[in-house]
Structure 1
Amino acid sequence: MSSIASPTPSRLQLYLQLIRWDRPAGWLLLLWPTLSALWIAADGWPGWHLLSVFTLGTVLMRSAGCCVNDVADRDFDKHVKRTANRPVTSGAVSVKEALGLGALLALASFGLVLTSNPPTILLSFAALAVTLLYPYAKRVLNMPQAVLGVAFSFGIPMAFAAALGGNEWSLAAIQAAVPRSAWALLLANLFWVLAYDTEYAMVDRDDDIRIGIKTSALTLGRFDVAGVMAFYAIYLGSWAALGLRLGLGWIFLAGVAVAAAQVLWHYRLIKDRSREGCFKAFRENHWLGFAVFAGTVLDLAMR
């Protein structure tokens, strides 16, 4: 008895696979620190306009980043079981199509940014440059996740610029709108990205060794689990200290405590370095960011 062939995916289905539409954890990891910064900068509710701009912009830019990443990594991904069937890697979507879709999504995101103010628009060019740089960082840097950390954290200074910026097109305008505390929050958030993307890299450790990719998991070696825990501790400790300096209180700290409890759970997931445990820890990280965001929002609302 002959088997029934599975239907060929439509172009739309392939494009949705390309941008990881079925995996919202990726854009949630970007969204929660960005919205936390937006609430802090606005000292509470930022308004529907800015909330819409940063929420939709985050989804669009993460999707565009997936297109660029899959094109850059197509020759590596075919040697990794988890990524071998990605649309670009398998040839179902051409490089030209993927780059065209990525450009369209980035332009749509830029259109949203144009509704904000000059400091935010200027910062968006730097954010785009880092996004394009990351896929190639793993060829030369022993810890390319640091570059990803900057890319995934750049919504923080942009949120401050959007909430506090004026109408001048200058570096001075950016400096006036984005305080040092915003850049410090970016640096602190970078360590969260190092934590969860090292967990992600631990999933593909054997494949990455074989094909020559550089990752934080390989760089840390047998100290990978300790490194992840240290990154979490730096992130939460720094974010808590900065939040207190910015006027947040005990409700915010309660959110940080909930996030810290999740870190302990993550340790149980990754301590044996199983692929399943490490991947689950990575996938569930957005709840950690949500806990910090919820604490921030509730604290500001209760003033």
Structure 2
Amino acid sequence: MNKLKINTLGKYIQLCRLDNPIGIWLALLPCIASLIQASDGIPNLNRLFIFSLGAIMLRSIGCTINDIFDRNFDCNVERTKNRPIANSTISVINAIYFLILQCIFCIPLIFFINKNCLLLSILLIPLIIFYPLCKRITYWPQLILGICFNFGILMAWIDTRNNLSLSAIFMWLGSIFWQIGYDTIYAYSDIKDDLKIGIKSTAILFKESGKKYISIFYILTIIMWTINGILLSYNRLYFLGILIISIHFIWQVFSFNINLTFNDDKYKNIKIFRSNLLIGVIVTIVSYLGLF
């Protein structure tokens, strides 16, 4: 019985991707960087905890919603066929109950953010719901995901300062372009399956020109984050970090192979995607070091 409960718990952990935390880090680190920037290097520990928990919960909720909507697609995609709803180890009704429980768990968080931040967070809800549906109607689901994933940047700033500065907007835009770039790399893993089942993505849109467009989005990321640093009057350490990020982006583009699928890219293209954790770490660190 205990083994059965552990296995069941494991399936729900898998459903909300807590067993694969790279997505949590990619959402959380830019948010922490924004908290550091908005607080002049010393973020409130309570606020740091609330936004970290919020990033984990919102990402988990997004994954649950995504898997409910995509269950009939996921079972036909090599990378996603073993997801709990797709392989029927979690029923749709139980997934909905779990989603309601996740939302209830998030309710107390609203009492720890200010009114303007709360209003901003309300705008995020329809975007989270719309993301899995937009893959059916647009080749730009990575854009919608980038907006959702990085909303914490704006929320962190407005909760800390009760206003929204131009520097925060540039940080947000840069993070969106960054996400479109790295998530396009990720999307190439599924391109053959997605074409068969009718799912749209930037990978399908860009086709053989993937490296060129990923390069453009990474260049836009560097420009946006550089402007962010200029507006915040950051020192050379920040811009040194941006230079290191630029070099890493160059490595990603040259190493990326658009012709590899999930079966043969898990040790290359997926590794390149996961290497963006380093980008998040660097931008967070230099957001602090750039102040001094």
TM-score by length of structure 2 reads 0.92
The letter of the residue matching 1:246 is L
Report what 2:233 is aligned to.
247
Report what 1:215 is aligned to.
201
Distance 1:121 1:202, change over 3 A: same
Aligned positions of 1:18-167 closer than 5 A: 18-165=15-162
The letter of the residue matching 2:224 is S
Moved over 4 A (4+): 6-9
Number of equivalences: 285
Deviations 1:218-266 (A, max 9, x none): 1011111111111111112211122111221211112212222221221
What runs of 5+ residues in structure 2 fail to find an aligned partner?
none
- Higher relative CO (CA 8 A, sep ≥ 6), structure 1 or 2? 2
Q: Contact between 2:170 and 2:227, CA under 8 Å: does it hold in 1?
A: no
Deviations 1:62-97 (A, max 9, x none): 111110011111010111111111001011111122
CA RMSD of aligned residues (A): 1.7
1:289 and 2:280 equivalent? Answer: yes
The letter of the residue matching 1:279 is I
- How far 1:11 moved relative to its partner? 1.5
CA distance in 2, matches of 1:179, 1:252: 19
Bigger shift: 97-106 or 78-87?
A: 97-106
Deviations 1:89-130 (A, max 9, x none): 011111122222223223323422321211111111111221
Q: Contact between 1:259 and 1:289, CA under 8 Å: does it hold in 2?
A: no
What runs of 5+ residues in structure 1 fail to find an aligned partner?
1-5, 166-176
Q: Contact between 2:85 and 2:92, CA under 8 Å: does it hold in 1?
A: yes
Aligned positions of 1:141-290 closer than 5 A: 141-165=138-162, 177-271=163-257, 273-275=259-261, 276=265, 277-290=268-281
Q: Contact between 1:150 and 1:190, CA under 8 Å: does it hold in 2?
A: yes
Identity level (%): 32
